[in-house]
Amino acid sequence: MQSTRLAKLLEFLSNDPNDPFVLYALATEYNVSNEVEKAFEYYLKLVSEHPDYVGTYYHLGKLYEKQGQQESAIGVYQQGMATARKKGDRHAFSELQGAYNSAAGLDYEDD
């Protein structure tokens, strides 16, 4: 049985199939529910059709990492950093840079 939240999001999507917030919310809901293929479907749709929706890149990258696809995650983080920089979103850039550094093995501690 679908959750009430998921059913409501799907209803919103049927009313406005191109709303980036609804697409993002659906991707997140599927991700939380471990429906990986559906989560990828909506995150990738966002990156393709709404490339300036900066929040997508962090979560898509984390999903790639969760699936053991480090190189894909790194590429997504790089794309997200470029988008965040272009939009002047320093907070998103910082979060994406941290995720990138971690995925690329650049986050080290001094002894």
Q: How far apart are CA 50 and CA 107, in angstroms?
A: 30
The model's pLDDT over 65-110, given as tens digits with 9 standing for 90+, comes to 999 999 999 999 999 999 999 999 999 999 999 999 999 998 765 4
Residue 75: its pLDDT value, please?
98
Identify the burial level of 88 via C-beta atoms within 10 angstroms of its C-beta, where 0-12 means exposed, 13-18 middle and 19 or more buried. Answer: exposed
The model's pLDDT over 17-45, given as tens digits with 9 standing for 90+, comes to 999 999 999 999 999 999 999 999 999 99
Residue 3: its pLDDT value, please?
76
Residues in the chain: 111
Torsion angle of alpha carbons 79, 81, 86, 90, nearest 10°? 160
One-letter amino acid at 22 equals V
What are the backbone angles phi and psi of residue 12, rounded to the nearest 5°?
A: -60, -40
45 CA to centre of own chain: 10
Give residue limits of the domains in the chain: 4-103
At 110, is the secondary structure helix, strand, or coil?
Answer: coil
Q: Which residues contact 76 (CB under 8 A, 6 or more apart)?
A: 47, 57, 60, 61, 64
Residue 11: its pLDDT value, please?
94
Class of domain 4-103: mainly alpha
Residue 108: its pLDDT value, please?
65
Query: Which tokens hold the place of 54?
Result: 């900066």
State the average pLDDT for the chain: 93
Residue 2: its pLDDT value, please?
59
Residue 8 has pLDDT above 90, yes or no: yes
Residue 1 has pLDDT above 50, yes or no: no
pTM, full prediction: 0.90
